[in-house]
Amino acid sequence: MDSIIPTKVLSKLSELNELSIDVNPNADQWDVDVWDANVKEILDELSSLPKLTILRLYLPSVDSLQQLRWNNKQVMYPNLSQFGFTVGHHPWQIIFCLPCEVGELFKKWEKSKKCLKYINGEAKPSGITKALQHASVFFLDRHYTSKTLSEFRNENMVQLKFCLLAECNEFQTIIDRDSEYRRGG
């Protein structure tokens, strides 16, 4: 098999309400490579599913997140009430290293809200900041360059209710209020 989901199967599911596609971080490398090679075609097919209300996807790159075509209000699906996007390769999950209470709280929020996970990232790509405008949960894991959450711009985080930062070794400040004053906010 050279595809995890055969071509044109998803586009035939026009009444589909919920879709969840994730690649197990401990999966065989072949599975991960096949998904990474096929994600663009799969995302193209998803555009023909207007009735999606819940969408959870593992996306190997910010480019694949941008393929979801964010506009000012929402992702390309008009009825989407929940989403969970994991962007970036994740060889293991930090969530298991958290105190039980925090891990359980995060899992609860993650399943019931609009969740964006950005893993092993650098910089602040526009695809992430656009998606962040719609997210109520943000998980930033192993970000290698940011020194403050404010670098993602505070106005992009207005909807956030829960934020989890893990192994962001350059972080010095969570929210930098002085950045707002420098921008005139």
Q: Where are the alpha helices (DSSP H) in the chain?
A: 29-46, 62-66, 100-112, 126-132, 177-182
* Per-residue pLDDT tens digits for 11-58: 889 899 999 987 665 566 656 677 777 888 888 888 788 888 999 998
Which pair of structure tokens corresponds to residue 119?
């893993």
Distance of CA 182 to the CA centre of its chain: 29
What is the Cα–Cα distance from 139 to 95, expressed in whole angstroms? 10
First-to-last CA distance in the chain? 53
- The mean pLDDT value for 107-129 works out to 85
Q: Domain residues of the chain, as ranges?
A: 17-182
* Per-residue pLDDT tens digits for 123-178: 788 889 888 988 999 999 888 888 888 888 888 899 899 988 888 888 888 877 66
Quote the pLDDT of residue 73. Answer: 53
* Per-residue pLDDT tens digits for 4-19: 777 788 888 989 999 9
pLDDT band at 78 (very low <50, low <70, confident <90, very high): low
pTM for the structure as a whole: 0.82
Q: Which CB contacts under 8 angstroms, 24+ apart, belong to 23-29?
A: 23/58, 25/90, 25/91, 25/92, 25/93, 26/92
Is the pLDDT at 93 greater than 70? The verdict is: no
